[in-house]
Structure 1
């Protein structure tokens, strides 16, 4: 299993906004920040390694634990993604990219629920894109310069995880403040609290029963940000 805690970087979005009964993503007031050359190089390297998201395990117990997680998350996600192969590919990629960035899969699933309600092609009014609502300027700073690539599932999840990891490093491990940076609302409680609340749906402990909260409910929204 790949676990990676590198120096990663800023950007991103907000929460669900409802229009005519349909959720639209809304990005926060994220500002493009100058990056030191060393940070830009580290971020670009983290993005460029395009290994396929196939988990690798050192022993059978780890693999069985992953398969139990996959089964539990697939059940919770079924109402949002009805096709098994689509769910499997999505969850496998979430697992791979979160472990690669040293993040908790449940937290990232909660963030995705808040950001895009699990919609691959979500676009916010300010142009943030995809599952994790990545702002297009990130493709210019640390990617291939093509904003349309943010609609590719693994690319979007990798950018989002790399960016969140970077903010977590900048905030010395303070997840509350890192989530605020991700949303462009550093120090305000609405967005971090929304993500923490949504993440409860995706908490998982091996052998523990599923939480009573059901992910088929309306996506959580963070005011402002």
Structure 2
């Protein structure tokens, strides 16, 4: 049976030991690195399924590591950092991180986020090239036809709503920052477009969510962005 491979990048010995013990209990394989140089070397040679990354490393900022890895790999990266400001989270996610946990963190939550990242990694590997239909619970998108469906019935979406839905769907499980979405949908990240994003997201939710008060598909990350939830 295949055991997922995790790369831990952390310079605090206590947290490294905690993560190692946790991964041992789940029978995951893992390598560790305690600085940026070691992280990049392991990222190239170890071929991890997921990277758990601290931002505050002694020789390099974690955001720079994310930028470097993203030039050649789409491996899921979960940031685990003491930095709790929204600006730090947005910076890491904009650089290409898939998820962000703030220290101190719950082991159960970390494992849940890790399972999500592993599922996304496997689905990316096994998805047929040129896949033209997206399925997620009762929601489906026929990219070739430019149509979306809920429970088999076509959704009547505006062009902007459809583009928003596609951007979220193609990044299912990943937190997308406001800036990223604005660039993908409107071609800019101007703060003045934020009201438009909120309006179109609200109208899109009304069309795909049974209850907008308890969303099943689109999750809001306050001050950061949105995530398409895998059903």
Structure with higher RCO (Cα < 8 A, 6+ apart): 1
Q: TM-score, normalised by structure 1?
A: 0.30
Higher share of residues assigned helix = 1
Q: Which one has a larger percent strand, Structure 1 or Structure 2? A: 2
Q: TM-score normalised to the size of structure 2? A: 0.30
